[in-house]
């Protein structure tokens, strides 16, 4: 199984890089994990029209790289428990899926085109998370999913 986390912008904080590296190391026995970053679009002004332009431009960059079973992380997505997420990840290979691409938008979210392209829209609740922190949270949940599926003691 190959898993790609497709996101907007460069990861800046060392603690986030270190956390993601730790989960990537743990996940290496279950899957091939990669993190693909696309360029963040500068915002000309805070007008709704300019925000939408940013979403559209970033969305085109994301769609050019979205491959396999695409999961868009968005607030309007489906909420799953960790065991439900584990069941999903464990079942996808049985359905012929060999690559999962999780898509995390930038500061202004995902374009409608990216959300529409997704095979699954997934929400981590009604909270708003910084998009860079979401990378680490997602890595932890992917690791937890594999541990649950394998009967590991990580999930309590």
- Which two structure tokens, joined as six digits, stand for 124? 């981590």
The pLDDT, as a whole number, for residue 95 is 97
Give the pLDDT confidence of 4-35 residue by residue, as tens digits.
Answer: 999 999 999 999 999 999 999 999 999 999 99
- Predicted TM-score (pTM) of the model is 0.95
The pLDDT, as a whole number, for residue 156 is 62
- Helix intervals (H) in 3-111: 14-27, 48-65, 82-91
Cβ-contact 71, 99 below 8 angstroms: no
Residue 104, beta-bridge partner list: 7, 73
Cβ-contact 111, 56 below 8 angstroms: yes
Residue 105 among known ligand-binding residues = yes
Instruction: Give the residue extent of every domain in the chain.
Output: 2-149
Q: Let me know if 103 is exposed, middle or buried by CB neighbors in 10 A (0-12, 13-18, 19+).
A: buried
Task: Give the CATH number of domain 2-149.
Answer: 3.40.1280.10
Report how far residue 88's alpha carbon sits from residue 82's, in angstroms, rounded to the nearest whole number. 10
3-state secondary structure of 1: coil
Q: Let me know if 81 is exposed, middle or buried by CB neighbors in 10 A (0-12, 13-18, 19+).
A: exposed
Give the pLDDT confidence of 95-150 residue by residue, as tens digits.
Answer: 999 999 999 999 999 999 999 999 999 999 999 899 999 999 999 999 999 999 99
């Amino acid at each position: 199984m190959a898993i790609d986390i497709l996101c907007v912008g460069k990861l800046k904080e060392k603690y986030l890089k270190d956390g993601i590296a730790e989960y990537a190391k743990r996940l290496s026995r279950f899957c091939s994990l990669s993190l693909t970053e696309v360029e963040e679009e500068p915002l000309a002004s805070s007008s709704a029209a300019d925000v939408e332009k940013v979403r559209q431009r970033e969305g085109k960059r994301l769609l050019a790289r979205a491959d396999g079973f695409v999961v868009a992380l968005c607030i309007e997505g489906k909420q799953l428990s960790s065991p439900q997420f584990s069941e999903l990840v464990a079942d996808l290979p049985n359905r012929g899926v060999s690559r999962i691409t999780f898509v995390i938008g930038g500061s202004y979210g995902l374009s409608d085109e990216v959300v529409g392209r997704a095979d699954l829209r997934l929400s981590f609740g009604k909270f708003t998370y910084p998009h860079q922190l979401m990378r680490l949270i997602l890595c932890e949940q992917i690791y937890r999913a594999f541990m649950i599926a394998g009967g590991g003691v990580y999930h309590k």
